[in-house]
Structure 1
């Protein structure tokens, strides 16, 4: 399931724990009542908006409350490039949920903003009574309208959305773990692994690393080749096999394009300087 709702009314001491529920994100609007963090005791008052991810604090209602909660899995925002391009969003919703600025904090809303958010949430809830929420185009459009409006609120409050550090770190770890398996590092496969669009992945990676994904991978492979060439423990065939080249000619052509010299010449230069 990629999208779900919680009934408006939640009971005294009822908990909101994303980790247990199996969702990645939750958008919470407190219409009436009070939510309190089980970890820190922080209070979130009525007419506040909260953004939760799996690293968020566990929340508990301190009295019977009226709360709108939209639960999302990351699958719901899979085609992030499409979402940003077609709904004029500066940030995709996952970045908002993972924002350091918003984590474990709430937005206090002006009266006019509350009315608009309540209206959008009401439309979503009404449609969900007659249509599957996870596949409804109408609900998807309302959800994206909601995030576009939230961006406007953040701009009004001069709050910046820090892009997810977590995803960037996970990408780097995945690449390091699979650098010896070229098939796993193809853009289509790595985008599928992280459940994002290939177009968005390329743009996200370049923004984070200040270089293209291909150049980043090539630089790592060049460094690995040179480390092994500088060692007397590796033959060319072993380097070819380890790094997934087709043959020695393939490795030589790749290296020559990047360094304007051959692996053999580099190996001789390292021997001469030792």
Structure 2
């Protein structure tokens, strides 16, 4: 039989290797101890939830660790979709397992949420009927878990999906407003795209492999150097165009990034 759902309890010295099972996803609740992913040196602590797909590294349990694992195949959520609408979920659970927001991260739980999850998992663990994979009762319990997860993500202002389109829109916004520093403040840009400032910072660093500040500074440095090399701009004009407070502000900014002054850069270009 090709099972679409299964539960497991793992303890010390056991490994969790989803890619060696017949399942596509695993929801993990760490009751005690720590799970470690040696491949990318990540640690996940107790009272956290993990959402694993086939791309996730093997997890190992550390001393005195207990974790509850619910395994799913794609078909589990498709076969019972006719009752899923009763839960009014914004996303199919498959979207959550594949979410880049949750990639290589665990979801920390508040006390009240932890108790609810422990209660649901306990019910599932005690349910030992042969037709567990087809049980409507079990499916209701699992959907209640994902409804809770959606509420947690909403409270944290973390979107489940990170769109490529949003990256393009952010890049366009930056290019259009690079001459207006006030519009490039994290709070301003987060408000513009209706996301939290904390999430925007994390999203940007993961997407571009550098912080938002470094990204903006790199663009401004490039613009300053283009104008210095052209010999058509005075320092005062560069200050006014790029929104620096004064020439001293521009000099200090440039020297901090390049370890030379703007005038030294300009002389180097002129002598080349």
Instruction: Judge same fold: TM > 0.5, yes or no.
Output: yes
Give structure 1 regions of 4+ aligned residues with deviation exceeding 3 angstroms.
Answer: 79-84
Select between 75-84 and 133-142 the one with higher mean Cα deviation.
Answer: 75-84
Q: For residue 144 of structure 2, what is the aligned residue in structure 1? A: 145
| Structure 2 residue 153 is the aligned partner of structure 1 residue 154 | yes
Check whether the contact 2:7–2:70 (CA below 8 A) recurs between aligned residues: yes
Residue 125 of structure 1 and its aligned partner are, at CA, apart by: 1.2
Cα drift, residue 68 of structure 1: 0.8
Q: TM-score, normalised by structure 1?
A: 0.56
Which residue number in structure 1 is paired with residue 11 of structure 2? Answer: 10
Q: Distance in 2 between matches of 1:160 and 1:100?
A: 9
Q: 1:163 to 1:96 in 2, by over 3 A?
A: farther
> What is the aligned partner in structure 2 of residue 21 from structure 1?
21
How far residue 99 of structure 1 moved from its aligned partner, in angstroms, is 0.2
User: 1:156-215 CA deviation, whole Å, 9 max, x = no partner?
Assistant: 1111101799xxxxxxxxxxxxxxxxxxxxxxxxxxxxxxxxxxxxxxxxxxxxxxxxxx
1:86 and 2:86 aligned: yes
Query: With structure 2 as the length reference, what TM-score do the two structures score?
Result: 0.56
- Measure the CA separation in 1 of the matches of 2:87 and 2:120: 16
Unaligned stretches of 5+ in structure 1? 166-274
CA 1:110/1:99 → structure 2, altered by over 3 Å: closer, same or farther? Answer: same
Matched, 1:59 2:59: yes
**Contact 1:27 1:70 survives alignment (8 Å):** yes
Q: Shift of residue 40 of structure 1?
A: 1.1
Give CA deviations for 1:106-162 in whole Å, capped at 9, x if unaligned.
0111111100111111111112x2352201110011111111111111111111101
Unpaired stretches in structure 2, ≥5 consecutive residues = 165-272
- Partner of 1:149, secondary structure, is helix
**In structure 2, how many angstroms separate the alpha carbons of the residues matched to 1:77 and 1:164?**
23
